[in-house]
Amino acid sequence: MGVPNSLAATLDAINEAYFYDHSPSKIQVKEAAEWIASRQAKTGRYTGCFMPTDGDYGEGVGVLLFTGEKLQTRLATRNILTAEAARALVLLDGSSAEAQDMLVRTNRWLFEQCFSRSCTIGECAHSTVGLMRYLAVARLDDVERRLAAHVAVLSEHRDGKGRWVRFPFYYTLLALTEIALPSAVDELRYAVPACRRVLERSSQDDRFSQRRRDILRRALAKCQLI
């Protein structure tokens, strides 16, 4: 599952496997966990971050999210790949002592960033959603409080049409389907009109379009509407 020279591609493969319930083999789990671990910065200002490769940055532009939205900044690319890598480690190898040590370093860095307090300036909103995805699987004592605070900020950014100002629509929907809080379901119910509109006109067959349709259906199913 590890993709040489690309942390983003590795995480995308892991996300797809777990999203579609394709359990990786023990060998794949070991290799992927080791590859992700190799990308963590152990010293310096980014200690705890999982660093993108030169290939991830490409021509100076960020990567595509699992849901297809394109990141425009290196800052958001690093922030979100760090949160997504931490999430992947929990899913792959969360109980090992080595993974726990890495997550302690990552948590220390993540929770010092402005997006951990639901900053919505620029692509910090995207980074907040990435953090929410991690928190949805994290083993932390205060995880429910943190998630509830993020969902509350999201609610404040409703545009009145089933979407949220500044937040990437599909990536946000994905995070909400993974959060086990009544307030997350409330946000999904708010998004139902937009979900239905997009689902009705969706016709493309590329992988991101398919993922988006599946996320839309999951969102509606969580609201018990399909």
Question: Could you report the per-residue pLDDT of 18-68, keeping only the tens digit for each?
Answer: 999 998 899 999 999 999 999 999 999 999 999 999 888 765 556 899 999
Query: Contact 176/219 with Cβ under 8 angstroms?
Result: yes
Mean pLDDT score, 179-191: 98
* 121 pLDDT more than 70: yes
CA proximity to 39, closest of 70, 67, 63, 3: 3
Angstrom CA distances, 191 to 84, 111, 137, 181, 212, stand at 24, 28, 23, 16, 14
Mean pLDDT score, 100-120: 95
pTM value is 0.95
Query: Contact 67/170 with Cβ under 8 angstroms?
Result: yes
pLDDT of residue 226: 63
Average pLDDT over the chain, rounded to an integer:
93
Q: What percent of the chain has pLDDT over 70?
A: 96
pLDDT band at residue 106, thresholds of 50, 70 and 90?
Answer: very high
Q: What percent of the chain has pLDDT over 90?
A: 84
Query: CA-to-CA distance for 48 and 94, rounded, in angstroms?
Result: 16
